[in-house]
Amino acid sequence: MGIMNHRNTVLFIGHLWPEPTSSAAGYRTLALLEALLKQYSIHFACAADKSEYCADLDRLGITSVSIQLNHASFDEYLQQLQPDIVFYDRFITEEQFAPRVHDVCPDAINILDTQDLHFLRRARQKALQSGQSIDLYSDDAIREIAAILRCDLSLIISRYEIQLLTEQFHLSPEILHYCPFMLDLDESVCEPRSYYEREHFVMIGNFLHPPNWDAVLWCYQALWSPIRAQLPQAQLHIYGAYPSEKVYQLHQPKKGVIIQGRAEHALETLSHYRVNLAPLRFGAGIKGKIADGFIAQTPCVTTPIGCEGMGFASTDNVAQGGRVIDSMDDTQQFIQYAIELYQNPSLWQDYSDSAPLLIQKHFDKQQHSHYFTQRLEDLIATLKTHRQHNFIGQILNHNLYRSQYFMSKWIEEKNK
């Protein structure tokens, strides 16, 4: 391929090509890449197909390349590139590609970007569907935590998830780095609109993400009709990337439910609405739909899952940026809070004014970009000692990577 070798070259292996207008995960990946660009030469590789909504990485100065799973061409690519640091987008990407990275580039630093803890989200989903208590000790947890241990550092998006990993699963903080959204209020192009310039309720989120689809269904089936009964002129406008036929079946204008599809400019879209509904019943990480609402100064009504990791400051159940119900299944309280926030200009204004402060305090782009790149520099300087401290990770590398590597080679031969 004729790749030039650069000092401090980063290879970022994507699970998907980043689509910043489709999902919070896509936006965050792009923010990470932009933070790295300040100090490193970036190459982005992905085995998935591209869509029309992918970010233009080449325009940003990022070299992009399509790769294949279980194929010798990836080894050849690594040989030419010789990356200093390799990022894996989600643990499944680490499972797929890290054995070959370790074989070809054993000295490369390995970073896992978890996006959110998949095992936590799936355990919550299973508990909701079964009506049983949550069980975190699953095969998903074994796989994801093993990937975290095998890597030199893992990026964790929520302080709650940092606490879960260190206290319940006893992982060392040395291999974890808190890295939430990196947001800049100055990048918002929309002017804040007043209470009286706004109308209707809004929901927004990628329809392919199971927590979002569940939230839409719960709102449609249990929350919206009682809200509409007391606010007959109000409408619920639902936005999201990749709407399917089952989504459009909920389009019921006579009931005030409008399926709008993809929001090309989420902040501008949110700025026209009075209340942002986020009735999430399961999930993990932090919520891009709520963060975007904060920037647009659109107060939200959400659940304990929705507010997790978002920096809500709550006193007597009055939270900055929006209102949070006490328990996940309190339908009546959610309805009440939505109606009160919609009807009360003074209450609405308090939440609207406080929302950007949460962005500045918890998700400041410059601050977290600096922490992130500084942590990488520290890791480069202390890698040998760092790996000695994470000896369990080295054991997993030695044993599991060999089995994964030979399995990958077997698949490669089988596919010939």
Q: What is the CATH number of the domain that holds 387?
A: 3.40.50.2000
Query: CA Rg, the chain, in Å?
Result: 22
| Structural domain includes residue 398 | yes
Confidence check: pLDDT of 4 > 50: no
Quick one: pLDDT band at residue 192, thresholds 50, 70, 90?
confident
| Structural domain includes residue 204 | yes
Tell whether 197 and 284 lie within a shared domain.
yes
Tell whether 240 and 128 lie within a shared domain.
no
Percent of the chain having pLDDT more than 70?
Answer: 92
Q: In the predicted model, what is the mean pLDDT of the chain?
A: 92
Number of domains into which the chain is organized = 2
Measure the CA–CA gap between 191 and 266, rounded to whole angstroms: 13
Tell whether 350 and 372 lie within a shared domain.
no
pLDDT for the residue 212? 96
Tell whether 332 and 397 lie within a shared domain.
no
What does the CA dihedral 287, 291, 296, 297 come to, rounded to 10 degrees? 110
Tell whether 266 and 241 lie within a shared domain.
yes
Tell whether 354 and 379 lie within a shared domain.
no
| Structural domain includes residue 264 | yes
Measure the CA–CA gap between 251 and 240, rounded to whole angstroms: 13
Quick one: pLDDT band at residue 55, thresholds 50, 70, 90?
very high
Output phi, psi for 53, to 5 deg. -100, 5
Give Cβ neighbours of residue 293 (< 8 Å, ≥ 6 apart). 270, 276, 278, 299, 300, 321, 322, 355
Tell whether 216 and 351 lie within a shared domain.
yes
Tell whether 54 and 21 lie within a shared domain.
yes
| Structural domain includes residue 3 | no
| Structural domain includes residue 1 | no
What does the CA dihedral 98, 100, 102, 104 come to, rounded to 10 degrees? -150
Q: What would the pLDDT profile of 158-186 be if each residue is shown by its tens digit?
A: 999 999 999 999 999 999 999 999 998 88
| Structural domain includes residue 60 | yes
Of 322, 347, 362, the domain-final residue: 362
pLDDT for the residue 397? 82
pLDDT for the residue 404? 63
Measure the CA–CA gap between 52 and 50, rounded to whole angstroms: 7
Task: Pick 414 or 213 by higher pLDDT.
Answer: 213
Region 108-113 average pLDDT: 97
Helix (H) or strand (E) holding 263: none
Confidence check: pLDDT of 136 > 80: yes
Percent of the chain having pLDDT more than 90?
Answer: 82
| Structural domain includes residue 257 | yes
Confidence check: pLDDT of 286 > 50: yes
Tell whether 119 and 103 lie within a shared domain.
yes
Tell whether 173 and 204 lie within a shared domain.
no
Tell whether 190 and 165 lie within a shared domain.
no
Confidence check: pLDDT of 312 > 90: no
What does the CA dihedral 137, 139, 142, 147 come to, rounded to 10 degrees? -140
Q: What would the pLDDT profile of 319-366 be if each residue is shown by its tens digit?
A: 578 899 998 889 999 999 999 999 999 999 999 999 988 999 999 999
Domain that holds residue 271: 186-362
Confidence check: pLDDT of 251 > 70: yes
Tell whether 100 and 193 lie within a shared domain.
no
Region 360-377 average pLDDT: 94
| Structural domain includes residue 4 | no
Confidence check: pLDDT of 1 > 70: no
User: What does pTM read for this prediction?
Assistant: 0.92
The two tokens of residue 335 are 């309805």
Of 343, 362, 381, the domain-final residue: 362
